[in-house]
Amino acid sequence: MAEFKFKPFNEMTADDYAEIGFKSGLEIHQQLLTDKKLFCRCPAGKYNNEEYHAEILRHMRPTLSELGEYDGTALMEFKTKKDIIYRINRDTVCTYEMDDTPPFEINDQALDISIEVGLLLGSTIVDELHIARKQYLDGSIPTGFQRTAIVSVGGKIP
pLDDT for 29-59, tens place per residue? Answer: 788 999 999 999 999 987 776 888 999 888 8
**Residue closest to 58 by CA, chosen among 117, 141, 129:** 141
Q: Which amino acid is at 96?
A: Y
| Kind and range of the H or E run holding 111 | helix 108-120
Is 40 within 8 Å of 94 (Cβ atoms)? yes
Domain parsing of the chain, residue ranges: 28-40+49-153
Percent of the chain residues topping a pLDDT of 70: 96
Which band of pLDDT confidence, cut at 50, 70 and 90, is reported for residue 120? very high
pLDDT for 83-115, tens place per residue? Answer: 888 888 888 888 888 878 888 899 999 999 999
Q: Which amino acid is at 117?
A: V
Q: Which amino acid is at 67?
A: L
